[in-house]
Structure 1
Amino acid sequence: MVPSSSDGAGRDLLVGIDAGTSVIKAVAFDLAGRQIAVASVPNRYTTSADGAAFQSLDRTWADCAQTLRDLGTKVEGLARRTAAVAVTGQGDGTWLVGAGNKPASDAWLWLDARAADTVLRLQGNPASRARFEATGTGLAACSQGAQIAHMAATTPEVLDRSEVALHCKDWLYLNLTGVRATDPSEASFTYGDFRTRRYDDSVIEALGLTARRGLLPEIVDGTELTHALSPEAAAATGLLAGTPVCLGFVDIVLTALGAGIHTAGSAGATCSIIGSTGMHMRAVHNADVYLSAEGTGYVIALPIPGMSAQVQSNMAATLNVDWILNLACDLLAEFGTKLSQSDRVQRIDGWLQSGRPGAHLYHPYISDAGERGPFVNANARANFTGLTSESRFPDLLLAVVEGLGMAARDCYAAMGGAMPAELRLTGGATRSRALRAVLGAVVGAPVRTSTREEAGAAGAAMMAAVALGVYPDMQACIADWVTPLLGPVETPDPHRVQTYSQAFPVYQEARRALEPVWDAMARQARQMEGRAHPEALSADTKVERRAVR
């Protein structure tokens, strides 16, 4: 279909904001989904020795406003041409706001591990399984419910001065419109029921947060309702006051939407986002959701009535590749040889093609926070299995990428049902054809990628397009914005498929066998740290992260 201008002559653009962990971006699209321009600012957050990961709410809003002003310098007449602004952002975490819509504390991010002990306590609650069956989502330290429960037990004064608990995109929406709200996706997988997309009092009670129920904001579906850009936000961003603003769903599902998780005739297709973390998703009707016996994963509402994304998530994906490449570069630097980032990218495909398939196993749990999908263990750590005197660097790099594929397959296996009929990939790492070939062969599915550069911002803008009536529903928008951008099918090598299919049960068996080893190593590390540096147990060593692409 040919979309029409939404509300008046000249309003021919939609602006999507995607406030990720690494970068905050503002992207302009025309009404048919063509990307016009993008502006970005690196996101900044701080970590400390107690497992905290936090960032300033005020600085996050200032950075977001900066991206919109910068976008205005790239697109002539942006303010008068913008039909709507839509915002999405990193999920989980806790963004507390108090009187006068001022921050009540720094934001706790999804990377924050301080609530780990609280999660263990809550999982021992007899109501824990009922909470999981309502939300479809396993409890982890990244969850806002767990974080607020931890605050209630340790720093209740922070909650006492708070009036509303938001997520990242909700905080930006508040600054854009003056409206305190959250969306159906984060509301339901944190505190509600994915079937109704509303809060569920039994879930809130299971988290021990009945007394804090008043912190939960109104739920707003951005495909149905928008609010006007405030005069204050207009002054900060350079846009026009009164411009409609759409509150998007969480960035995970909007990225998947923009990358093709659901298109006409896509039965059996799945979507994996291969970035710093790995997100593995399939779009299902709510009646077909599979709830694992282990109680892990997410069920996240899609901006399509009656449909959700069933999700399993690895804590680390390309972080594993970064680690082994950095290790090699450090060794080369000792001998006076330096490899630039572009040199590394150019060499990756060659190394992957010369490695021996299936020669080693690698479990890609390189994150300091351990693993969360398809199992939860904060002590999980990466490892190679099967090294010999014949092992060479290309073999190890290939094993690392194979490990990403094994982790993805492990996640899809935990969702129940058949393995993917087609694997749709997005994320920076998937630009490598050799890497895509390995992932497809390990999962055992043909691969397709999208040429959509900014899928998260596009997913948010798609919601705005439906809200404004540019398209009658999301299915019609997908037909224009998503389907034409899907690339050709890349069929995996059948011999590699067989090799990896035989290796996968061994990968799973080794993973299970290693769990007591990881736990023992963690206990030993804590004992050694306590003996060597007793003061470190209370130290507040802080490191600011400026994550850039």
Structure 2
Amino acid sequence: MRERLIGIDAGGTMTKVVLFDVKGNELACERRPNIMLMPNEGWTERDGDGMWRATCESLQALLEKTGTNPADIVAVTPSGYGGGAYFVDAAGNLVSNGLVSTDTRSISLIERWKRTGLAAEVSRHIQQQVWPGQTFPIMAWFQENAPEVMKRTVHMLPCKDFLRMRLCGDISTDPTDGGCAGIINVTKGDISREAFEAAGMQGWLDKLPPVRSSVEVVGMVSAAAAAATGLRAGTPVVRGVYDVVGCSLASGAVSSNELAAVAGTFSIHSTVHRTPSLAPLPTIQTPYPVNGQVLATTATPTSASNLEWLCKTMLSAEAQRAFLEGRSIYDVCNDLVAEAIGRPNGILFFPFLYDGPRGAPGGFLGLRAGARLADIVRAVYEGVVFAHRYDMNYLLTGPDAADPKVIRLAGGPSRSPVWAQMFADGLGLPVEIANGSEFGAKGAAICAAVATGIYPDVATAIANMVRVEQRLEPDAARTAVLSHKYRAYLAAIDVVADLWSAGADERLACAG
């Protein structure tokens, strides 16, 4: 028998199902797109049934194309994006579309909470910030604006927990998803009744899933799920962690010496602490299943998704030409940036297409007629690095801040030599890249390896399943160039944000 582990990662754009061996080697992956539904401005939703079907199709295809005997699967473990929500009835049927963590319908509610002091009170109870895609204010929004959904809801489930319910019928969550959802006290690792009482949301308490260990077998694949997925009925299902924590595990971040960074839809930075960080107060804070520690995280939608937008819009012709040549548009972009890296470039790109500090909009500044396409793409790469630096500096400033010596990088830029080196140069720390590519799913597999007794604990599993394959040292000359440009970037953000804010009233007046 060949021991195999399957990790599922339902992320912001794709659901991925990945096959691993017990040494952490990534053997095969199947992907299916997740369709974003936007019924109103700022609302980002997902058909949960469609996501489940995509998971089933991916599992069937993975087993078939690899010739894997379902009896060789030691366990299957879901992971998925944190925040958002899936509301289901007693039979496990959805009572609304699922909400994605980019949803911003709760912004005005949060602003009201800030004015009244409630946001600060809730933050004290949950030991992290209150942010729009977080489950806690989303539930508050539904309580106020869609009480019929709240009434029909029997269970509120995070993304991975919804998928696990479909696999084996289990209703629960783990401390990492509970932390990201903003529903637990991080120190206690359990539901914060105080936060719900402060917000007048006690009606949700009996709809919340119990919070249990991330590394526990919670059930077996049901007969119905086996028929839909190709898995063997009775295959163990493990509770797991949400994807940011999974990426941190798969990057090998086990102490305060390592900062885990993910460059994807969000710019994500996570540091490991002995106790919760309160100064700075992170966007997200969760118990971390390594030696009883805590993971503090900043997350803003300012990362590599900006390049994806560029490729789908301004570079659509180049993308089509690359496809006909059997190449990826992202390979083309890497070549362009490598060509342009040595010449002067005064173009600033603000990677705020989805959100920005102080409401600053996305866009370019400093374009001249002589600019080439390579210079523009390079500016996008640099702008994303600057957004990461901005967030990282916040996370690393304050009495509770960690002092990492290395960045463990995951996400698309980690697979681009020129961009990964730019991260090292722009952030001023060595960048290390671990083995594999699907880190969220690998974090799930690490949990499975512990839950099924292959390894005694998560730290041991990481030591056996994670290997650093590449290390990039900062180049002093390039660091100096990017630091000078970063100062201009910071100054420009303030100016642009002020101008955009001042023009908001005019735009509203014209619209009226």
- Name 2:452's counterpart in structure 1: 468
Shift of 1:418: 6.6
Shift of 1:152: 0.8
- Name 1:547's counterpart in structure 2: none
1: CA distance, partners of 2:222 / 2:334? 49
2: CA distance, partners of 1:128 / 1:63? 37
Structure 2 vs 1, CA of residues 322 and 458 (structure 1 numbering), >3 Å: closer, same or farther?
Answer: closer
1: CA distance, partners of 2:299 / 2:462? 24
1:347 aligned onto 2:339: no
The 5 Å alignment of 1:103-122 reads 103-122=94-113
- Name 2:287's counterpart in structure 1: 301
1:424 aligned onto 2:431: no
2: CA distance, partners of 1:458 / 1:137? 26
Aligned residues of 1:362 and 1:382 also touching (Cα < 8 A): yes
1:365 aligned onto 2:352: yes
- Name 1:181's counterpart in structure 2: 172
What's the CA shift string for 1:462-503, capped at 9, x where partnerless?
Answer: 101111111011111111111x2x123211210111222334
Structure 2 vs 1, CA of residues 163 and 201 (structure 1 numbering), >3 Å: closer, same or farther?
Answer: same
- Name 2:232's counterpart in structure 1: 240
Shift of 1:171: 0.7
The 5 Å alignment of 1:396-415 reads 396-415=376-395
What's the CA shift string for 1:305-325, capped at 9, x where partnerless?
Answer: 422222112213123223444
Deviates more, 1:491-500 or 1:31-40: 31-40
1:515 to 477, 497, 512: 497
Aligned residues of 1:43 and 1:60 also touching (Cα < 8 A): yes
Shift of 1:452: 0.8
1:492 to 474, 491, 504: 474
The 5 Å alignment of 1:27-426 reads 27-189=18-180, 190-262=182-254, 267-286=256-275, 289-292=277-280, 297-326=283-312, 328-329=314-315, 338-340=321-323, 342=327, 344-353=329-338, 354-355=340-341, 356=343, 359-367=346-354, 370-371=355-356, 375=357, 377=358, 379-388=359-368, 391-415=371-395, 416=397, 417=401, 420-426=404-410
Aligned residues of 2:322 and 2:332 also touching (Cα < 8 A): no
Shift of 1:409: 1.1
1: CA distance, partners of 2:63 / 2:322? 36
Shift of 1:170: 0.9
Structure 2 vs 1, CA of residues 522 and 205 (structure 1 numbering), >3 Å: closer, same or farther?
Answer: farther
Structure 2 vs 1, CA of residues 358 and 206 (structure 1 numbering), >3 Å: closer, same or farther?
Answer: farther
AA matched with 2:274: H
Aligned residues between the structures: 503
What's the CA shift string for 1:430-483, capped at 9, x where partnerless?
Answer: 22211112111110111121231221111101101111111011111111111x
Shift of 1:516: 2.8
Percent of residue pairs identical: 26
- Provide the aligned C-alpha RMSD in A: 2.5
2: CA distance, partners of 1:115 / 1:253? 25
3-state secondary structure, aligned to 1:165? strand
Structure 2 vs 1, CA of residues 513 and 237 (structure 1 numbering), >3 Å: closer, same or farther?
Answer: same
3-state secondary structure, aligned to 1:140? coil
* Consecutive unaligned residues in structure 2, runs of 5 or more: none
What's the CA shift string for 1:364-389, capped at 9, x where partnerless?
Answer: 1122xx23xxx5x5x43113334455
2: CA distance, partners of 1:423 / 1:430? 11
Aligned residues of 1:401 and 1:439 also touching (Cα < 8 A): no
1: CA distance, partners of 2:232 / 2:108? 47
1: CA distance, partners of 2:317 / 2:6? 44
Aligned residues of 1:251 and 1:456 also touching (Cα < 8 A): yes
What's the CA shift string for 1:223-248, capped at 9, x where partnerless?
Answer: 13422222222222222222211111
Deviates more, 1:468-477 or 1:50-59: 50-59
2: CA distance, partners of 1:307 / 1:230? 34
2: CA distance, partners of 1:144 / 1:267? 28
What's the CA shift string for 1:387-417, capped at 9, x where partnerless?
Answer: 4555443333222211111111111111124
1: CA distance, partners of 2:306 / 2:30? 28
1: CA distance, partners of 2:444 / 2:223? 22
* Consecutive unaligned residues in structure 1, runs of 5 or more: 1-9, 532-549
AA matched with 1:398: R
Structure 2 vs 1, CA of residues 232 and 268 (structure 1 numbering), >3 Å: closer, same or farther?
Answer: same
Structure 2 vs 1, CA of residues 31 and 346 (structure 1 numbering), >3 Å: closer, same or farther?
Answer: closer
Structure 2 vs 1, CA of residues 82 and 322 (structure 1 numbering), >3 Å: closer, same or farther?
Answer: closer
Aligned residues of 1:259 and 1:455 also touching (Cα < 8 A): yes
Structure 2 vs 1, CA of residues 180 and 226 (structure 1 numbering), >3 Å: closer, same or farther?
Answer: closer
Shift of 1:267: 4.8
AA matched with 1:179: D
1: CA distance, partners of 2:414 / 2:283? 23
2: CA distance, partners of 1:254 / 1:522? 40
Aligned residues of 2:302 and 2:387 also touching (Cα < 8 A): no
Aligned residues of 1:357 and 1:496 also touching (Cα < 8 A): no
Q: TM-score, normalised by structure 2?
A: 0.91
Structure 2 vs 1, CA of residues 128 and 338 (structure 1 numbering), >3 Å: closer, same or farther?
Answer: same
AA matched with 1:422: V
3-state secondary structure, aligned to 1:245? strand
AA matched with 2:209: P
Shift of 1:204: 1.6
1: CA distance, partners of 2:344 / 2:434? 27
2: CA distance, partners of 1:300 / 1:182? 13
Structure 2 vs 1, CA of residues 239 and 393 (structure 1 numbering), >3 Å: closer, same or farther?
Answer: closer
1:445 aligned onto 2:420: no
Deviates more, 1:99-108 or 1:419-428: 419-428
